[in-house]
Amino acid sequence: MSRNTSLSNTGHSFGSVTRTFHWLTALLILTAIPLGLIANDMAYDTAEALARKAQMFSYHKTLGVAAFAVALLRLLWALTQRHPAPLHPGRRLETMLAGAVHWLLYVSLLAVPLSGWVGHAATSGFAPILWPLGQDMPLVPKSEAVAQIAGALHWVFTKLLIVSILLHIAGALKHHLIDRDATLHRMVSGVAAGRSAGRAAKSTSRYPAFAALIIYAAGSALALSLPAPDARSGQTAAAAPVPAIVEGGNWQVRDGTLSISTRQFGSDIQGSFAIWSAEITFDANAPDANKGQVEVRIDTTSLSLGSVTAQAQGPGFLDTAKFDTATFNARIRKTNAGYSADGALTLHGVEVPLSLPFALTIDQDIATMSAAIALDRRDFGIGLTYQDETTIGFETRVRIDLTAKRR
């Protein structure tokens, strides 16, 4: 049997470029999938375990981005090449099924890594991609909703990829062991085999692609119909931040945000608490420096922190199952720079003195307040197993913005 030693395909064989793309893609995908499955099942109850889990996910993501690039180049190359004729053109149903599996593979090789990449770009924290570029994507915002949709699509598309790989391997083994034809040899060593495809084969060439697109449309619909779980925690998406209505005080918070940010594996991660309340008593015209008092209550179980929400709420950190509420009680006083709320923050069962400088503007009965402060997690006994900042930073930056109306 003759062999194709050229770069390009012929009507009976695959060229060296196509064969290289095929086996390189197989190597990347068959490495990335097990890495992802193993990483997903790894524990992260200690600093060392979390570092190993994140490293494994980084390898998975990095290989996924590489697989996407190779698959895209492979597809572009395929568009310039003729496809060798099927070895058994008379077996129309078998030929169509094989074509459908190939199209399912082509779509999967793009859709699976792309959906994972979008999910990575849309969320914050956990397991950076190891390529110099790729942490963010154009037109992909930092959005938990986008990350959850991409995560659901990635989950479904991965299943379609695995099924298509298994069908592809089964077909190759069937040709090699049962039919004993040259199908596998054509892709391994460029053996030329088969005869030109007839008109009947060409007339059905659209159906496999159409079938693959229908399968992917159904898979997309399934993914979009699923509840939106966090990519790793299994929790539903946090509600939009809405300050709770409180009875006391002479100011009622109308809207506001309580956001936090920290660093994990050298990357910034942002989040917020969705449920909190503030009871504010304040009189800017009080005769002395003390202008009032404030009591803030935060539902720590409402924290959303991107892909590390479950970890942040877990026993090694906030331990929200045991400490589901944080409180800040303080007196408000006038300072040369503006105002300050001086009191104590109780978090994770630990009370720490805290002075919170803030900016305040009052327009008739509407007050707008903003503040920012840096906290050290170690002061509250949080994440003490992480003794350095290689994995988790010590500092957590907190920002408060709110608008209140005088009662």
pLDDT digits (tens, 9 = 90+) for 36-49: 999 988 887 676 77
CA distance 132 to 52: 21
Residue 203 has what pLDDT? 42
CB under 8 A, 24+ apart: contacts of 7-12? 8/81, 9/81, 9/82, 9/83, 9/84, 10/82, 10/84, 10/192, 11/82, 11/84, 11/85, 11/196, 12/84, 12/85, 12/192, 12/193, 12/194, 12/195
Choice among 63-72, 126-135, 219-228, 325-334 with the minimum mean pLDDT: 126-135
Of 138 and 33, the one with more pLDDT:
33
pLDDT band at 245 (very low <50, low <70, confident <90, very high): low
User: Does residue 241 carry a pLDDT above 60?
Assistant: no
Residue 325 has what pLDDT? 96
Strand 251-264 relative to strand 395-406, pairing: antiparallel
Beta carbons within 8 Å of 288's beta carbon, 6+ residues apart: none
User: Does residue 221 carry a pLDDT above 90?
Assistant: yes
Residue keyed to tokens 């598309």: 157
pLDDT band at 340 (very low <50, low <70, confident <90, very high): very high
Choice among 53-62, 186-195, 234-243, 397-406 with the minimum mean pLDDT: 234-243
Choice among 67-71, 107-111, 264-268, 279-283 with the minimum mean pLDDT: 264-268
CA distance 60 to 28: 10
Most confident region among 207-211, 236-240, 301-305, 322-326 by mean pLDDT: 322-326
As a whole number, the mean pLDDT across the chain is 87
Residue 243 has what pLDDT? 60
Residue 25 has what pLDDT? 96
User: Does residue 163 carry a pLDDT above 90?
Assistant: yes
Token pair for 271 = 């989040």
Residue 239 has what pLDDT? 47
Where does residue 236 rank: exposed (0-12), middle (13-18), buried (19+ CB within 10 A)?
Answer: exposed
CA distance 62 to 244: 42
Residue 145 has what pLDDT? 84
Question: Domains in the chain and their CATH numbers?
Answer: 16-225 (no CATH), 242-406 (2.40.128.110)
Nearest to 361 by CA among 316, 403, 317, 327: 403
The residue-averaged pLDDT of 10-17 equals: 90
Residue 332's CB: how many other CB atoms inside 10 A? Answer: 24
User: Does residue 275 carry a pLDDT above 90?
Assistant: yes
User: Does residue 201 carry a pLDDT above 50?
Assistant: no
| pTM of the predicted protein model | 0.69
The helix (H) or strand (E) run that includes residue 106 is helix 92-122
Most confident region among 79-88, 241-250, 376-385 by mean pLDDT: 376-385
